[in-house]
Every structure is written in structure tokens, then in C-alpha cells.
Amino acid sequence: MSEEKKKVVGRPFAVGNTVGGRTKGALNKTTKFSREVLTLALAGQENNIREALEKLSKKNPEAYINAVAKLLNYAIPKLQSTEISSNGNTKIEITLDDSMSVDDLKQRMAEMEAEDADFEDLDG
């Protein structure tokens, strides 16, 4: 009888094996090629795009704002809210806006630290 090859189920390599495969974040050939083609197609089109956006702003301001908002996703990353936790016991959420100055923020943080110090005295 000839031996049949067994199908490998699950992970054929040990965890941490770095043999072969793409590195994390590396683009596959199709994505890389597509981006290069788009880059070449759009090269030198800055003036045409600007003119088209100007025409759109005069003809349909709402569509203009939507188009600019979609384009901004490629130029400026979206900001995310962040949670900061201390010792896994207390969650602090900080929301920044234009109405709060740096000095106001420093003062608020000092107040929060003072409140936290009061709690530490009770625990200790």
C-alpha cells in the first residue's frame, strides 16, 4: 500500500515561525499595482480636480461639501476618542474641544489629581 499524504488541519507551523509569507503591513501585488496605476492616472490632474470642485461648489454646495469630506479621509486621519485607565480601577475620559484652553486643561487635570490623592489617603 502506498502512503497517502495527510491534510494538515489548523496551523502547519509553530507559533512564531517566520518562514515565508508577507511581513505585516506589506501590500499584495494587486493592491500595489492598483495604487501605482491610480497614482499615474492622477498625476498632473491637480488643476482639473480643483476646477471640478470649484464648479461643483457653485452648482451644488451640498455635493461639494460631501466630495471634500470624502477626500479629506485620504489626507487627514480621523481622530478617535481615547480612554485612559489608571490601575484598571478608574476610567478617565477626556473630551477636547476648541472651547478649552491648555491652561484650563492643566487646571482640570490638577483638580482630578487632587481628587485622586484624596481617595489614595482613604485607601492607605
Q: For residue range 30-42, list pLDDT tens digits in order.
A: 888 888 888 888 8
pLDDT for the residue 56:
92
Residue range 1-19, pLDDT digits in tens: 445 666 666 666 666 666 6
Amino acid at 123: D
Q: Is the pTM of this model over 0.95?
A: no
39 touches 31 (CB < 8 A): no
pLDDT for the residue 73:
80
Residue range 33-67, pLDDT digits in tens: 888 888 888 888 889 989 999 999 999 999 999 89
CA angle 14, 15, 20 (to 5 degrees): 75
Helix axes 61-75, 46-59, angle to 10 degrees: 140
